[in-house]
Amino acid sequence: MSANVPLKICFSAGESSGEQHAAHLFLELKTQLPDLIGIGMGGVKMAQAGISLCYDSSQIAVIGVVEVLKHYAEIRRTLKRMQQLLLNERPDLLICVDYKEFNYQLAKFAKRNGIKVLFYVSPQVWAWRKNRVKKFGAVIDMMAVIFPFETAYYEAENVPVRYVGHPSVDKVIPTFTKTDALEKFSLNQNAPIIGLVAGSRTNEIKRLLPVMLAAAERLKLDFPDCQFVLPQADSISDELIQTYLNHANINVTVIKNQPYDVMQCCDAIMTCSGTATLEIALLGVPMVICYRLNPLTYQLGKRLVNIRFIGLPNIVFGESIVPELIQHDATAANLATEIHRLLTNSEAAQNCRADLQIVREKLGQRGGIQNMAALVLELLQR
């Protein structure tokens, strides 16, 4: 590494959780390389961390076959723009964070043009399409995995891999104590507090928030004094949230930029699938996972995915410790029933908390971001 020419890293993150990982990584790297330049694609958190964005990825943060097809033209334009950025800027390293298919194409282009590639957060090859190990291995210099069991899949195919630890273990740290958070958000600790975590993508909000609000209305009948809180993701607009809250017959406290302070206050949470479930698990809060996809995407997924669970706490634990309500089962009645059980059955709630503690232990110790930063520095020095 030259002492005179600042190093430059291009980040490519296509959704909220990925861009948060990228932001934390860049901030950690800057402590060791103050002159480091960050460019690329991402969202608000990355921009706040000091990464110069050429594209706001919230416009293409979609999941599912049908959703991708609807946004295909925009996704393709963005890929072309990112490819041109690589050619113009010639970064010392491209770090692709999650967002698998898009970043595979970008990594392939980078590799073809002599740019080193580090892929952060492995495709879920243990769930479906194990042949992707070879496919990704051909276009990267290193795969950084966040679950310890993932390394075996890459080692079997001689693909360079490093287990760095799960970034959420470092990230999920409330700013306030629970007592102070309750006071700050004007919440009554003597009445049930229920969280609504509907997702960080627009299509997730559209599919899940109405169901969650309908479930909340049912719960309000059984628990008249219960309180509802919604930690709003940066990638979701106020207008979209209010569109649904304006038609709800309950009061929901919406809180921005403090998800872990909000989550820790809850007695139970109804949540979308994804990284949020691990964040809630790390905080030890009982939850119910619900998810809905476009019907065509769901039918294709059923045929392709070979895994018992979709919820990460269940996958990490190896058994069903958190209820999963998927597609047709993701109804207001079912959600309300499961949350009701957690609020009234103290044994069930305590068992869930104990199992979530085991999930936390399986995810390992803190230091994932530092491990990842060390790996980046190693690649830059090669």
Q: Is residue 3 domain-resident?
A: no
Q: How far apart are CA 245 and CA 208, in angstroms?
A: 13
Q: Is residue 223 domain-resident?
A: yes
Q: Is residue 2 domain-resident?
A: no
Single-letter amino acid, residue 350? Q
Q: What are phi and psi of 121, to 5 degrees?
A: 85, 105
Q: For the chain, what is the largest distance between any 2 Cα atoms, rounded to a whole number of angstroms?
A: 67
Q: How far apart are CA 281 and CA 357, in angstroms?
A: 8
Q: How far apart are the first and last CA of the chain?
A: 9
My answer on whether 222 and 283 are in the same domain is yes
Number of C-alpha atoms within 13 angstroms, CB side, residue 290?
A: 29
Q: Residue 329 in 3-state DSSP?
A: helix
Q: What share of the chain is helix, strand, coil (3-state, %, to 5)?
A: 50, 15, 35
Runs of H (alpha helix) within 138-283: 151-155, 167-171, 178-184, 202-222, 238-245, 259-264, 275-282
My answer on whether 374 and 357 are in the same domain is no
My answer on whether 286 and 377 are in the same domain is no
My answer on whether 283 and 377 are in the same domain is no
For residue 282, what pLDDT is reported?
97
For residue 370, what pLDDT is reported?
94
My answer on whether 377 and 356 are in the same domain is no
My answer on whether 107 and 239 are in the same domain is no
My answer on whether 325 and 227 are in the same domain is yes
Asked whether 372 and 120 are in contact (CB, 8 A), the reply is yes
My answer on whether 116 and 250 are in the same domain is no
Q: Is residue 96 domain-resident?
A: yes
Question: Interior CA angle at 185 toward 312 and 272, to 5°?
Answer: 20
Q: Is residue 284 domain-resident?
A: yes
What dihedral do alpha carbons 9, 58, 132, 321 form, nearest 10°? 110
My answer on whether 152 and 189 are in the same domain is no
My answer on whether 331 and 193 are in the same domain is yes
Q: Residue 256 in 3-state DSSP?
A: strand
Q: What is the CATH number of the domain that holds 60?
A: 3.40.50.2000
Q: How far apart are CA 260 and CA 173, in angstroms?
A: 7
Q: Is residue 137 domain-resident?
A: yes
Q: Is residue 170 domain-resident?
A: no
Give per-10-residue mean pLDDT for the chain (382 aa): 80 88 95 96 93 83 58 84 97 94 95 97 72 91 92 94 92 95 96 96 92 98 97 91 95 95 98 93 97 67 65 92 93 98 97 96 89 96 84
For residue 364, what pLDDT is reported?
85
For residue 11, which of 109, 79, 68, 91 has the smallest C-alpha distance? 91
- Report the predicted TM-score, pTM, of the whole model to 2 decimal places: 0.80
My answer on whether 133 and 51 are in the same domain is yes
Boundaries of domain holding 255:
178-362
My answer on whether 48 and 95 are in the same domain is yes
Per-residue burial over 12-41, b if 16 or more Cβ lie within 10 Å, else e, is bbbbbbbbbbbbbbbbbbeeebeebbbbbb
Q: What DSSP character marks residue 361?
A: H
Q: Is residue 1 domain-resident?
A: no
Domains contained in the chain, number: 2
For residue 186, what pLDDT is reported?
96
Name every residue whose Cβ is closer than 8 Å to that of residue 72 and which is 6 or more positions away in sequence: none
